[in-house]
């Protein structure tokens, strides 16, 4: 009998109708969790994720929420609690890119990315922390142990340390995510809430399709990856699950790079 790592834990994954969020939702779903699948505009895609979890024998619901809207985020958590009674894990994943050269970047492009990627994580994490603290601890599986009562994993990016011309809104948002994550981790640890983030490199998802679907761009992308392959959303989902599990209970305020070595300055391998 295989042990289901997240049996009966309630896991909210923001932005889980596609890409890395979807892979996380499916992974938690096949590991026994009750999954709250969240989308903001593509309802059809969200419904497909829920169907896939259920057809694999898992449990999931679909909730629409724009993470940059305070009332939407509150309603997302209220619906999770209404359906499943509690929340154990938040994967604060929803994010996007709106690329433009710096000299041409509009305030709207800047603001949109900061709103979703940074303010959205603030709103989701704040709601999760409040819920973890307020809910009935006696029914928490970790109530009579030293283990965390709630876990948060934020979606950052290698661009929380790698500067990225042409994407300054995105890089600024992810740099912000790193210090936000570390600061709330420091603040929430005494409540036995663990907060960490993952920083994916080039992962084959819709967000960077323009790069991996073009043979020339794909070839030059591989030069930035010592491990010489593009990542999969499952590569990231497995690391997220580890950070959300009791196996990483003593890991707090850390950023785990899942990037095939992209942050190793690959251009220095035969240069410098």
Give me the residues that bind ligand BGC (CB under 6 A), please.
97, 157-159, 201-202, 207-208, 211
Among 127, 113, 126, 221, residue whose Cα is nearest residue 175: 113
For residue 172, give Cα distances in angstroms to 69, 102, 107, 228: 20, 12, 14, 27
Give backbone dihedrals phi and psi of 155, rounded to 5 degrees, phi first.
-90, 110
Q: Are the CB atoms for 115 and 68 separated by under 8 Å? A: yes
Q: Are the CB atoms for 154 and 88 separated by under 8 Å? A: no
CB of 170 to ligand BGC, least distance (A): 7
CB of 34 to ligand BGC, least distance (A): 29
Residue number, 46 or 231, with CB nearest to ligand BGC: 231
Token pair belonging to 20:
């890395």
**Active-site residue flag, 170:** yes
Token pair belonging to 54:
């259920």
Residue number, 105 or 211, with CB nearest to ligand BGC: 211
The catalytically annotated residue of 39, 170, 227, 257 is 170
CB of 155 to ligand BGC, least distance (A): 9
Residue number, 58 or 175, with CB nearest to ligand BGC: 175
Q: State the residue number with the nearest CB to ligand BGC.
A: 157
Cα 185 to the center of its chain, rounded Å: 16
Residue number, 7 or 229, with CB nearest to ligand BGC: 229
Residue 88's Cβ-count burial label (10 Å; 0-12, 13-18, 19+) is: buried
Among 199, 181, 266, 180, residue whose Cα is nearest residue 239: 199
Cα 107 to the center of its chain, rounded Å: 25
CA dist 59 and 54 (Å) reads 6
Residue with tokens 């995510």: 177
CB of 95 to ligand BGC, least distance (A): 8
CB of 266 to ligand BGC, least distance (A): 12
Residue number, 13 or 35, with CB nearest to ligand BGC: 13
Residues with catalytic function: 170
């Amino acid at each position: 009998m295989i042990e289901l790592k997240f049996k009966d834990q309630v896991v909210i994954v923001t932005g889980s109708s596609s890409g890395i969020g979807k892979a996380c939702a499916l992974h938690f779903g096949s590991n026994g969790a009750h999954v709250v699948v969240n989308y903001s505009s593509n309802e059809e895609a969200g419904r497909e994720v829920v169907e896939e979890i259920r057809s694999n024998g898992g449990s999931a619901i679909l909730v629409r929420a724009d993470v940059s809207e305070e009332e939407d985020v509150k309603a997302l958590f209220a619906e999770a609690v209404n359906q499943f009674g509690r929340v154990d894990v938040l994967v604060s994943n929803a994010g996007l890119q709106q690329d433009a050269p710096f000299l041409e970047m509009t305030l709207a492009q800047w603001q949109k990315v900061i709103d979703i990627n940074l303010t959205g994580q603030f709103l989701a994490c704040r709601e999760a922390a409040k819920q973890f603290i307020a809910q009935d601890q006696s029914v928490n599986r970790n109530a009579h142990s030293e283990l965390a009562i709630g876990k948060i994993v934020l979606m950052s990016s290698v661009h929380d340390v790698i500067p990225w011309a042409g994407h300054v809104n995105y890089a600024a948002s992810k740099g912000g995510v790193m210090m936000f994550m570390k600061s709330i981790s420091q603040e929430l640890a005494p409540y036995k809430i663990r907060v960490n983030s993952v920083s994916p490199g080039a992962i084959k998802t819709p967000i960077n399709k323009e790069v991996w679907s073009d043979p020339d761009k794909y070839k030059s992308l591989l030069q930035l990856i010592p491990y010489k392959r593009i990542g999969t959303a499952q590569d990231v989902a497995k690391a997220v699950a580890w950070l959300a599990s009791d196996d990483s209970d003593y890991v707090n305020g850390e950023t785990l790079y899942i990037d095939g070595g992209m942050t190793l300055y690959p251009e220095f391998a035969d240069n410098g």
